[in-house]
């Protein structure tokens, strides 16, 4: 990966940078919408492009189970399959496996069953949440799957440590992540694709020495970028911000830094100050589908508005004064969108999703401008 720092802030670790992929150049800081099964929920590729996005995220776990990486490869790769002209990052499926590693409701009987997951040194055995079929993810296999998907950036398999976790549990989980990362790095050296890049993942839960040790080890391997995992898993903002502060200064400056699963505007602002370049989250569209939008007047503090509340039934205002999203520019009122959301009308969910996505993209655009002008 060709990664270039264009401007370094004099006030913090924030930096304006650029990296090049087979599907175009990406300026950072950047937010990546989640196209979990090959689509950002309710939003077309044309709309994503119009908002300003140049990179989105696909989910290896879900795409592997259905429709399958072999079919996607046959169709010309993920971008051609979903008709997305920009770059794509695919995760390894590690977080989805983590999510399945709890009690679950059987898809047929609706009874509460034990975990769908068994973690071993070899990899992760799991049962599909779709049909109960058994599968194995290894560090090598998830690379092969992502190679078939044809994504621009691949993620290694890691174990996402749950919260709360004891020190011993977090240490053991981190060491397994390191073992898998080394296997992935070695495998990539022999079997990598020059058109694709691969990122390692830092773990260590909420323990400072483990996070520092993990950042040092993952940075020592031959990855194109460094991601920070195991945040936004219930640890709270204070712990999340501590992780950023601990490892931001020690991550390799010549590589992009990616904070996984973060989408709150305030968290993005904090992450950029600590040297983070890339963010992703399902939050903007998930909130939107339930009628919640973000608003701001100063782009430093943000407020959530729940349009399902009765006070918006007669509100003639647009979602956010001065907003440049197509929903607000078209003049759709809060009253109308509130009605659509209460009726579970898809159009209402699309209108709110477009607004939330625009807000996050405009936020990172503004951050880039502020760094460039020495205001950040």
Q: In terms of C-beta density within 10 A (0-12 exposed, 13-18 middle, 19 or more buried), how is residue 276 classed?
A: buried
68: CB partners within 8 A, 6+ apart: none
Are 223 and 208 in contact by the 8 Å Cβ rule? The answer is no
* 34 in a labelled binding site: no
Residue 91 is assigned to a ligand binding site: yes
> Coil, helix or strand for 8?
strand
374 carries a ligand binding annotation:
no
> Would the annotation count 158 as a binding residue?
yes
How many CA atoms lie less than 13 Å away from 287 in the CB half-sphere? 20
Residue 185 sits at the vertex; the CA angle it makes with 85 and 53, to the nearest 5 degrees, is: 20
Please indicate if the annotation marks 93 as binding a ligand.
yes
Q: CA of 303: how far to CAs of 105, 288, 363, in Å?
A: 35, 14, 14
Q: Which residue has the tokens 């049909």?
A: 131
CA atoms of 16 and 375, how far apart (whole Å): 12
290 is in an annotated binding site: no
Which residues are catalytic, by number? 91, 280
Single out the residue of 286, 293, 251, 287 nearest to residue 271, CA to CA.
251
Consult the annotation and say whether 325 binds a ligand. Answer: yes
d(CA 31, CA 54): 9
Measured distance CA(203)–CA(3) in Å, rounded: 23
94 is in an annotated binding site: yes
Helix (H) or strand (E) holding 278: strand 278-281
Q: What is the DSSP letter of 67?
A: T
CA distances for 131 relative to 62, 107, 126, 361, angstroms: 13, 7, 12, 37
Chain CA centroid to CA 338, Å: 28
> Which residue bears the tokens 């880039």?
368
Q: Cα–Cα distance between 297 and 330 in angstroms, integer?
A: 20
Is 203 known to sit in a ligand binding site? yes
Residue 112 tokens, joined: 């509460």
Cβ 240 vs Cβ 231: under 8 Å: yes
- Is 312 a known ligand-binding residue? no
Q: Are 139 and 146 in contact (CB under 8 A)?
A: no
Binding-site positions for Zn(2+): 323, 325, 328, 355
Binding-site positions for substrate: 91-95, 158, 203, 230
Binding-site positions: 91-95, 158, 203, 230, 323, 325, 328, 355
């Amino acid at each position: 990966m060709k990664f270039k720092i264009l401007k370094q802030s004099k006030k913090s670790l924030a930096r304006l940078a650029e990296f090049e992929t087979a599907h175009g150049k990406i300026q950072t800081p950047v937010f990546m919408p989640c196209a979990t099964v090959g689509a950002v929920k309710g939003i077309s590729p044309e709309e994503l492009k119009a908002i300003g996005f140049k990179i989105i995220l696909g989910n290896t776990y879900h795409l592997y189970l259905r429709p399958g990486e072999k079919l996607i490869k046959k169709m010309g790769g993920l971008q051609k399959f979903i008709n997305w002209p920009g770059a794509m990052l695919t995760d390894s499926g590690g977080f989805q496996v983590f999510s399945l590693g709890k009690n679950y409701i059987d898809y047929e009987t609706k009874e509460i069953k034990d975990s769908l997951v068994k973690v071993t040194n070899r990899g992760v055995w799991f049962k599909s949440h779709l049909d109960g079929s058994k599968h194995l993810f290894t560090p090598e296999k998830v690379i092969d799957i992502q190679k078939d998907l044809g994504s621009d950036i691949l993620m290694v398999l890691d174990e996402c440590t749950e919260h709360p976790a004891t020190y011993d549990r977090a240490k053991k989980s981190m060491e397994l992540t390191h073992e898998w990362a080394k296997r992935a790095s070695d495998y990539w050296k022999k079997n990598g694709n020059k058109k694709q890049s691969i990122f390692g993942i830092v773990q260590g839960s909420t323990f400072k020495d483990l996070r520092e040790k993990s950042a040092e080890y993952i940075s020592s391997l031959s990855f194109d970028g460094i991601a920070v995992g195991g945040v936004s898993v219930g640890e709270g903002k204070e712990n999340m911000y501590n992780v950023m502060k601990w490892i931001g200064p020690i991550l390799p400056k010549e590589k992009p830094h990616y904070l996984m699963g973060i989408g709150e505007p305030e968290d993005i602002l904090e992450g950029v100050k600590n040297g983070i370049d890339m963010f992703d989250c399902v939050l903007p569209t998930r909130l939107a589908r339930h009628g919640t939008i973000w608003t701001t007047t100063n782009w430093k503090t943000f407020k959530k508005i729940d349009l399902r509340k009765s006070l918006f039934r007669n509100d003639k205002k647009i979602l956010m004064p001065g907003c440049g999203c197509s929903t607000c520019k078209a003049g759709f009122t809060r009253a109308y969108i509130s009605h659509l959301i209460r009726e579970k009308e898809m159009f209402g969910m699309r209108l709110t999703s477009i607004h939330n996505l625009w807000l996050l993209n405009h936020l990172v655009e503004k951050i880039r401008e502020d760094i460039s002008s020495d205001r950040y």
